[in-house]
Amino acid sequence: MTQTEVRTPPLRETTGSAVGAPIDRVDGTAKTTGAARFAAEHPYPDLAHAALAHSSVARGRITAIDTAAAAAVPGVLTVITHLNAPAMKPPPKISPFNLVSLATGTSVNYLNTDEVHWNGQPVAVVVAETRDAALHAASLVEVAYQRLEAVVDFAAEEGNAEPQKSNALQSGGARKGDARAALAAAPVSVDLRFSTPQHNHNALEPHATTAAWDGDRLTVHEATQGIAWTRGQLALRFGVPERNIRVLSPYVGGGFGGKGMVWAGTVLAVLAARVAGRPVRLELTREGVYRTVGGRTPSTQRVALGARADGRLTALVHTSVARVGRVGGGGEQITSQSRHLYDAENILLQQNLVTLDLLPNTMMRAPGEAIGTFALESAVDELAYKLGLDPIELRMRNEPTVNPLDGKRFAHRMLREAYELGAERFGWPERTPAPGSMRDGRWLVGMGVASAYHPSWQLAANVTVRLSADGGVLVRCAFQEMGMGSATVVAQIAADALGVPVAAVRVEYGDSLLPGGPAAGGSAQTASIAASLLPAAEKLKRSVLALARRSPESPLRGTRASGVLARDGGLYPADGRGAGESYPAILARAGRDSVEARVGSDTRVGAMVSQARTVGKVLNDRRRWVKAACGAHFCEVRVDPDTGEVRVTRWVGAFDVGRVINAKTAASQLRGGIVMGIGMALSEETLVDPRTGRVMNPSLAEYHVPVHADIPPIEVHYLDEPDPTMPLGLIGVGEVGITGVAAAVANAVHHATGRRVRDLPITLDKLL
C-alpha cells in the first residue's frame, strides 16, 4: 500500500448510519446473476448422482428387496440397501446437553435397518452417472414388506393424546388460579374448538447435498440452517472427528425450519459417496422433500374465554393436541402466546401430544405460535362480538403491564402502540362493525385484526473481526444466509461498530471452517451474532487504539478507550476536540497488515463454554424478563357471495421488533411471514391419507402455496424502538410476521360474511 492511499482511504460515505438503512442485500448481485452456487451446483470431476427409493407402507419390515432391475439401468454404479450398506452409528439421542442431538430429524439409522417407520422412508439409494438414471433406477427397486399395524390418522387418535412434558426450553402447560371455575362463572364467555392441518415448508430450493470424501476427510455442500449441527451429526454417524468434516452452505434457497435438522437425504448422500468412492450429489425431488423432511404438526385446539361485561378477562383456557412421530419430532409451543398476550385473572394452558407412525414433525416458521395465534386471536374476536366491543378495544382492555402468568416484567412491549399505528394506517375507524355490512359491488368486504407474538431468543456465536491496513473490515462467522439478509445486516452492524462504510466490510459465513455460528432458528441469528460482534468490535478498537497510543507521533497518544469514537474509518476523540487518526494511518505506522479480535473459541472446551454461557444467560434473562416481538395485523378481504372465494385485498402490519437493522430486509422477512400466513389461512394443507399415512399432494401443483395473485400489497410499519435487553436493541424478525395472520384473515372473513371458520384452511366450501 502506498502513502497516498493511506492518506486518502476509500472511505467517502458518511459513517455511523448503516444500522437502520434500507440497503440492498450484499449477496443480491450474486443471486440475481446466477453467480451464487447453491448446494446442488458445485461441480466435481467424477461427480456421481444419487436418488432415493421410498417405502410405500407406513410401518413394517422389509422381507425382500430386489435391486436387479435398478442395477441393470445403464449408468447405475451401485444400489445401496439395508442388505449391503456399511454400518453407521445411530443418530444421537436427543439431549439438552448436546445441542447437536437436537438436529436429529428422525431416530432411524437409515439403510442400517429392515424396519420401516413411515410411508416414504428411504429404503434404497441408487448411485448413477446421471441424476436421470439414478431417479429411474430408484423407481425400479422392488420391495416386499411384512406390514405391521400403523397408527396414522390424527383425527381418529386425538382422544389418545397425552399431556406434553415441560423442559428447560418449553413448557407443556401452565396455570394461574382456577380458570375452569372462572369460566363457568363468567357472565360472558366463548368456548371454541379449532383445527389446523399439517403444513410443509416448500422452500424454493429443494434439499440438496454434494458430498466428497478424501480418505477420512469429508467435504459437504449442503442446503442447511445449521452448519455446525450438520457437521456434528455427520461426525457422530460416520465416526470421524468433527475437524475432518467441512460443511459449506453459503447460499440456501429458503429453509423456514425445514433445513434446520439433519434429514435422510444428507446422511444418505454422504453414505453414497463413501460407498461409490466418488463425490456424490443428492438433490431431493419435491416429492422427496415431502417424503423425508417433516412439516408442521396438525392441531386441534380449544380456546375458552370468560369475561366480565366490560370485557375484562376472568378466564383464559387454551389447550391443544398435536402429533409427533414415533421416531422423532417434538411438541410445538402452540399455547406460548397465550401465556403473554392477555391479562386474564385465571389461566389454564395445556399442550397434548399423540404419537403416530408418520414422518416426524419439525420446526416450521414460528412452530406453535403460527397456529396457536390462529385459535387464540380468532376466539378473542368472537368474544369481542359477543360483548359488542371493538376487537382492538377488547385487546386494549386486557393489555397486561406485566406477564400475566407470573408477574415478570416485559423487556419491551409496544403492542398498544402497534395497534394505534396500524389502525391509523389501515383506516380501521372507517370499518362498520356489523358482519356483512360492507360491500364493494358484488363483493362482500371484511376487515379483521389479530395480534402477532413471537418470543425472542439468542444462541451462542463465535466471531472474529479483522481490520486490514487498507481500512477494510472482515467479519467471520459460520452463520447461515437463507435469503433473510443476514450477511447484509451483519455488515451493517460491523460498519457502525467500527465506523466504516458498509462497502468496506466483507462478511464470510456459511462455512464450518469459520468461527462457530448460531443455527438459523428461533429468529435468533441476528441478535446472537450481534451479541458477539459488538464486543469483538470493541476489542478490536482497543487493540487499534493500543497501537496508536504506543506511537509518539499519534494524535491519539494518551487517549483512553472510553474517550475515542470509531467514525469515518478511524478513531477520533469522542468529545470532538483534537485530532484523531484513520485506521490505515494507525496500522501503517505500526507496520501492521492487520489487527484481529475474536469473541468465543472453537476448541471443544471453548465451544462448550460459550454454549453454556449463552444458554445460562438466556435462561437467566428468561427468569427476569419476558422477551418477544409483537405486532398488529390489519387485513381486508373480499368474499364472492356466490362462490365463497376469499381474496385478501389489503394488508397493514405494525410491528414492535426493537431496533430495525435494515428496513428493507426486515420488511421482506415480515412480508414473507405474512405471505406464508395467508397461505396457511386460505389454501395450504398437506393431505395425509388416513388409510395409509401417505402424503397425497407432494407437489407445488397440488399443495397450494399462495401465488402472486393471492397476495395484495403489504404495508409493513415498525415502531423501531430498541429493546434495552437485547444486543443493539434488536429483536428477531424472521417468525413474528406469520403469527396472527390466519386469525386476521378468519376475522375479516367473519366480518364480511358473518361466518366463523375455525378449521383451516378457509376454503370456499366452508363459506357456501
Partner 1 sequence: MKTFSYVRATDVATAVGAIASEPNAKFIGGGTNLVDLMRERVESPDTVVDISALPLTEVEELPGGGVRVGALTRNSHLAAHPLIRARYPVLSQAILTGASAQLRNMATVGGNLLQRTRCPYFYDDTAACNKREPGAGCDAIGGFTRGHAVLGASEACIATHPSDMCVALAALDATVEVRSVRGTRRVPVDGFHLLPGATPHIETVMAADELVTAVELPASPLAANSRYRKVRDRASYAFALVSVAAALEVTGGAVAGVRLALGGVAAKPWRAREAERVLLGAPATEESFRRAAEAELAPAAAQPHNAFKIELARRTITATLRRLLTDGSAA
Beta carbon of residue 47, minimum distance to partner 1 (angstroms, whole number): 20
CB of 133 to partner 1, least distance (A): 9
Residue 217 Cβ vs partner 1, minimum distance, rounded to whole Å:
36
Instruction: Give me 754's grid cell.
Output: 358473518
> Hey, what amino acid is at 636?
E
Q: Judged by CB under 8 A, which stretch of 219-227, 396-404, 622-630, 702-710 contacts partner 1?
A: 702-710
Query: Which of the residues 548 through 587 are near partner 1 (CB under 8 A)?
Result: none
Among 129, 343, 621, 710, binds partner 1 (CB under 8 A): 710
Question: Which SS3 state, helix, strand or coil, does residue 608 take?
Answer: helix
Question: From the list 416, 647, 664, 755, which residue makes contact with partner 1 (rule: CB under 8 A)?
Answer: 647
136 near partner 1, judged by CB under 8 A: yes
CA 333, CA 368: separation in Å to the nearest integer?
Answer: 4
CA–CA dist 237, 34 (Å, integer): 34
With CA atoms as reference, report the closest residue to 457 among 229, 663, 254, 726. Answer: 726
Whose Cβ is closer to partner 1: residue 393's or residue 689's? 689
Contact 630, 572 (CB under 8 A): no
Nearest approach in angstroms of CB 272 to partner 1 is: 21
Q: Which residues contact 228 (CB under 8 A, 6 or more apart)?
A: 100, 247, 478, 512, 516, 517, 519
Between residues 35 and 707, which has the closer beta carbon with respect to partner 1? 707
Would you count residue 702 as binding partner 1 (CB under 8 A)? Answer: yes
Piece in contact with partner 1 (CB under 8 A), picked from 132-140, 292-300, 510-518, 733-741 = 132-140
**Smaller CB separation from partner 1, 314 or 683:** 683
Q: Which stretch binds partner 1 (CB under 8 A): 215-223, 327-335, 583-591, 760-768?
A: 760-768
168-227: which residues touch partner 1 (CB under 8 A)? none
Residue tagged 442395477 (cell numbers): 71
- Hey, how many other C-beta atoms are within 10 angstroms of the C-beta on 317? 25
| # residues contacting partner 1 (CB under 8 A) | 31
Question: Which 57-116 positions form the footprint of partner 1 (CB under 8 A)?
Answer: 74
Nine cell digits for residue 16: 455511523
Looking at the Cβ atoms of 511 and 710, the one nearer to partner 1 is: 710
What is the pairing mode between strands 122-128 and 48-54? antiparallel
Give the shortest CB-703-to-partner 1 separation in angstroms: 11
Of 40, 135, 632, 743, the one binding partner 1 (CB under 8 A) is 135
Is 649 a binding residue for partner 1 by CB under 8 A? The answer is: no
Is 146 a binder of partner 1 (CB under 8 A)?
no
Please say which residue, 645 or 720, places its beta carbon nearer to partner 1.
Answer: 645
764 is a contact residue toward partner 1 (CB under 8 A): yes
Pairing of strands 625-626, 208-214: unpaired
What is the smallest separation between the CB atom of 765 and partner 1, expressed in angstroms? 4
Measure the CA–CA gap between 519 and 512, rounded to whole angstroms: 12
Per-residue binding string, partner 1, 664-693, x by CB under 8 A, is ------------------xx---x-x-x--
Measured N-to-C along each axis, helices 369-387 and 741-753 cross at an angle, to the nearest 10 degrees, of: 30
Per DSSP, the three-state class of 525 is helix
E strand residue ranges, 580-735: 581-582, 594-599, 625-626, 628-639, 646-656, 714-718
How close are the terminal C-alpha atoms of the chain, in Å? 74
Stretch that binds partner 1, among 150-158, 490-498, 641-649, 715-723 (CB under 8 A): 641-649
Closest by alpha carbon to 448, among 235, 232, 677? Answer: 677
Of the residues 332, 382, 581, 735, which is catalytic? 735
Closer Cβ to partner 1, 712 or 722, answer by number: 712
Binds partner 1 by CB under 8 A, chosen from 87, 579, 605, 709: 709
Please indicate whether residue 684 is annotated as part of the active site.
Answer: no
Of 8 and 146, which has the nearer Cβ to partner 1? 146
Kindly tell me the burial class for residue 576, based on how many C-beta atoms sit within 10 Å of its own C-beta (0-12, 13-18, 19 or more): exposed
In the complex with partner 1, which residue's Cβ is closer, 260 or 693?
693
The backbone torsions φ and ψ at residue 61, rounded to the nearest 5 degrees and listed phi first, read -125, 145
Task: Kindly state whether residue 696 participates in binding partner 1, applying the rule CB under 8 A.
Answer: yes
Q: Which amino acid makes up residue 8?
A: T
Nearest to 330 by CA among 622, 615, 102, 618: 102
Q: Which stretch binds partner 1 (CB under 8 A): 76-84, 272-280, 344-352, 704-712?
A: 704-712
Which residue, 433 or 754, has its beta carbon nearer to partner 1?
Answer: 754
From the list 704, 715, 720, 755, which residue makes contact with partner 1 (rule: CB under 8 A)? 704
Minimal distance, residue 77 CB to partner 1, in Å: 17
> Least distance (Å) from partner 1 to the CB of residue 132?
6
- Give the integer Cα–Cα distance in Å for 240 and 250: 23
Q: How far apart are CA 561 and CA 587, in angstroms?
A: 17
CB of 766 to partner 1, least distance (A): 9
Neighbours of 752 (CB within 10 A): 26
Q: Which three cell numbers stand for residue 181?
A: 371455575
With CA atoms as reference, report the closest residue to 460 among 609, 658, 250.
609
Beta bridge partners of 595: 467
Q: Which residue has the cell 382492538?
A: 392
Residue 740 CB, nearest distance to partner 1 (Å)? 21
What's the closest the beta carbon of residue 702 comes to partner 1, in angstroms? 6
Peptide bond into 535 cis (omega under 30): no
When binding is defined by CB under 8 A, the residue of 66, 157, 645, 759 that contacts partner 1 is 645
190 bridge partner residues: 305
90 three-state secondary structure:
coil
Cα–Cα distance, 506 to 530 (Å, whole number): 16
Q: Whose CA is closest to 210, among 266, 288, 136, 135?
A: 266
Q: Does 295 bind partner 1 (CB under 8 A)?
A: no
d(CA 726, CA 628): 10
Mapped onto helix, strand or coil, the DSSP state of residue 510 is: coil
Q: Which one of 98, 113, 244, 697 is in contact with partner 1 (CB under 8 A)?
A: 697
User: How far is residue 20's CA from residue 663's CA, in Å, rounded to a whole number?
Assistant: 6
Q: Which of 101, 113, 437, 763 binds partner 1 (CB under 8 A)?
A: 763
| 262 close to 229: Cβ distance less than 8 angstroms | yes
> In terms of CB distance, is 176 or 286 closer to partner 1?
286
Segment interacting with partner 1, rule: CB under 8 A, options 96-104, 486-494, 708-716, 718-726: 708-716
By beta-carbon proximity to partner 1, the closer residue of 153 and 191 is 153
Contact of 381 with 747, CB cutoff 8 Å: yes
- 139 counts as binding partner 1 under rule CB under 8 A: yes
From candidates 24, 46, 132, 393, binder to partner 1 by CB under 8 A = 132
* Residue 153 binds partner 1, judged by CB under 8 A: no
By CB under 8 A, the residues from 399 to 438 that bind partner 1 are none
> Which C-beta is closer to partner 1: that of 424 or that of 702?
702
> One-letter amino acid identity for 458?
Q
Min CB(704)–partner 1 separation in Å: 5
**Contact call for residue 56 and partner 1 (CB under 8 A):** yes
Minimum CB separation of residue 676 from partner 1 in Å reads 14
Nearer to partner 1, 51 or 519 (CB): 51
Residues contacting 495, CB < 8 A, separation 6+: 15, 18, 19, 473, 501, 502, 504, 505
Measured distance CA(391)–CA(449) in Å, rounded: 7
Is there binding between residue 620 and partner 1 (CB under 8 A)?
no
Q: Which residues are catalytic?
A: 735
- Interface contacts to partner 1, rule CB under 8 A: 56, 74, 132, 135-136, 139, 642-645, 647, 682-683, 687, 689, 691, 694, 696-697, 701-702, 704, 706-710, 763-765, 768
